[in-house]
Amino acid sequence: MATFAYDTTGAPPLEMDFPLIDDTYATGEFLACGTTDGTDLGALKSAAGIYASVVGILCDAAQTTTGTHAGKNIDEGRVIYNPMGVYRTQHIFDGTSDISVTAYTSGTPDLNFTCGSGLGYPNAGGGFIYVTKDAAAGTLAVIDSSSVATTTQTIVLITATATDITTDSDIIIIPPPFSDGYAVQLTDVGIDGSDIDAPATPGTTGLAVGLMDNWIERTRGVMERLRPSRHEGLINLDTNGVKFYTDICLAPSHFLL
């Protein structure tokens, strides 16, 4: 789930009640401004699939609103709306939105997958891949470099994985901090509609964000900064409920447009 991590100006969480359009919401869900006159303009809605005018996250308990403009009865929800806020957001790997590997040569550190034309995840050196499916599931590996040629993404790992990745493997990518040009999808599936998801075709759609830092939770409640020197080559992480988080700054905050 998404939580308020800190504000780059040192400000505390700023909270205010905002109108929420008819929908089901959950604590920590990212919210964006409605865009359709007569339907949701003038209220907030889930930010899933919206890549501009993000306001912040819901800090109320999970709720379902039933209000409409026509009914003049739109409900309100408590929202953290810091324009310079940094939010800790969990990566989701649910078996339906992970990235499918299309090519890998046994014993090498190279792998490929399909991405949008000219898009994908370039310049991801220093980041990580986490294998979510097949024999190597639970493996964490550090990216040496990555590049995109037309619709093929190539990732070179620093070290080949102990168990080979195959074309039956799925992965997620955890880009490095301070990397430029990245977009994330704030999915409407998973824990609460606020997790980081891979778009259906990686790199084609997403919300432009600033990536501040990455975290790993291997033991329930114990967070560690994700670092190659400490975490490269870890295996069997799938057996202990590992979670990954990224601190993101919402570049297109509605209040900074």
pLDDT surpasses 90 at 184: no
Query: What pLDDT is recorded for position 188?
Result: 54
Is the distance from CB of 175 to CB of 203 less than 8 angstroms?
no
Q: Which amino acid is at 96?
A: T
Instruction: Give percent of the chain with pLDDT exceeding 70.
Output: 84
129-167 residue pLDDT tens: 999 999 999 999 999 999 888 888 899 999 999 999 999
Query: What pLDDT is recorded for position 228?
Result: 94
Sign of the dihedral defined by the CA atoms of residues 203, 208, 209, 211, in that order: positive
Query: What pLDDT is recorded for position 190?
Result: 44
42-56, 166-180, 230-244: which range is least confident on average? 42-56
Length of the chain: 257
Query: What pLDDT is recorded for position 191?
Result: 42
46-87 residue pLDDT tens: 887 776 788 889 988 777 777 777 677 778 889 999 988 999
**Integer Cα distance of 33 and 45 in angstroms:** 6
